[in-house]
Chains A and B, each alone.
Chain A
Amino acid sequence: NAGVTQTPKFQVLKTGQSMTLQCAQDMNHNSMYWYRQDPGMGLRLIYYSASEGTTDKGEVPNGYNVSRLNKREFSLRLESAAPSQTSVYFCASISQGARPTNTEAFFGQGTRLTVV
Chain B
Amino acid sequence: QKEVEQNSGPLSVPEGAIASLNCTYSDRVSQSFFWYRQYSGKSPELIMSIYSNGDKEDGRFTAQLNKASQYVSLLIRDSQPSDSATYLCAVGSSGGSYIPTFGRGTSLIVHP
Contact = CB atoms under 8 A, between A and B. Distances in A.
B32 interface: yes
A47 B102 CA distance: 14
Interface in A95-109: 96, 99-101, 103-109
A42 B103 contact: yes
Given A42-B102, A103-B34, A90 B44 contact: yes
Interface residues of B, number: 25
Contacts of B100: 33, 94
Interface of A: 1, 31, 33, 35, 40-45, 48, 50, 56, 58-59, 90, 94, 96, 99-101, 103-110
14 contacts: A33-B100, A42-B103, A42-B104, A42-B105, A90-B44, A94-B98, A94-B100, A96-B98, A99-B51, A100-B49, A100-B50, A105-B34, A105-B44, A107-B45
Contact of B99 (A41, A48, A108): A48
B82 interface: no
Contacts of A101: 49
Nearest to A110: B43
Given A1-B43, A43-B102, A107-B45, 19 more contacts: A31-B97, A35-B102, A42-B105, A50-B98, A56-B97, A58-B99, A90-B43, A90-B44, A94-B100, A100-B32, A100-B56, A103-B32, A103-B49, A105-B34, A106-B46, A107-B43, A109-B43, A110-B42, A110-B43
Interface of B, secondary structure class, is: loop
Interface of B: 1, 8, 32, 34, 36, 42-46, 49-51, 56, 88, 92, 97-105
